[in-house]
Copies of this chain bind each other. A is one copy, B any other.
C-alpha cells in the first residue's frame, strides 16, 4: 500500500483520528506520518501530551507494517519503549519517521523518531513490537 492507499485506509477504519493524520510518504525505506496538533493533544502547560506522542508513534509503525503486508487482519502492539526528549511547542505540527527493522512471521519491530516543525532534533523516540496475526 502506498501513501494514498494508507490515507484511504485511515479515513475508512480510523475515522475519529483520520482528519488529523496524513501519510506523507511510504516506501520500503520507511514511512512519514504528519499529525496536525490541536487542543485535544495538549496537556496542562501547553505542550503535546505523552499519550498523543505515543499514539502517533504507534499508528506510524502500524501503517508501516500495512504498507508491506496489506490491509489484512489486525496486527497488535505488544510492547513499546519511548523516550521523551524535548517539549514540542503547542501550535506546531509533528511528523513521525518510522522504519521497520524486522518483519518476521510472528513479530514486527519498528523504530520511530518524532520531529516538530522548525526543530532540528527529535522530540521523541519510540520502538514498537507488533504481534502479527497468524495466517489461516
Contact = CB atoms under 8 A, between A and B. Distances in A.
A77 B50 contact: yes
Contacts of A125: 101, 109, 111, 127
Contacts of A58: 50-51
A52 B50 CA distance: 10
B83 A129 contact: yes
12 contacts: A50-B55, A50-B80, A51-B51, A51-B52, A76-B87, A78-B85, A78-B107, A79-B129, A80-B81, A80-B82, A101-B122, A106-B131
Most buried by B among A45, A74, A79, A87: A79
A119 interface: no
Given A54-B50, A79-B79, A80-B80, A86 B74 contact: no
A81 B111 CA distance: 12
Contacts of A102: 83, 85-86, 121
Interface in A41-62: 44-45, 49-52, 54-55, 58
A104 B80 CA distance: 18
B44 A13 contact: yes
A3 B37 CA distance: 33
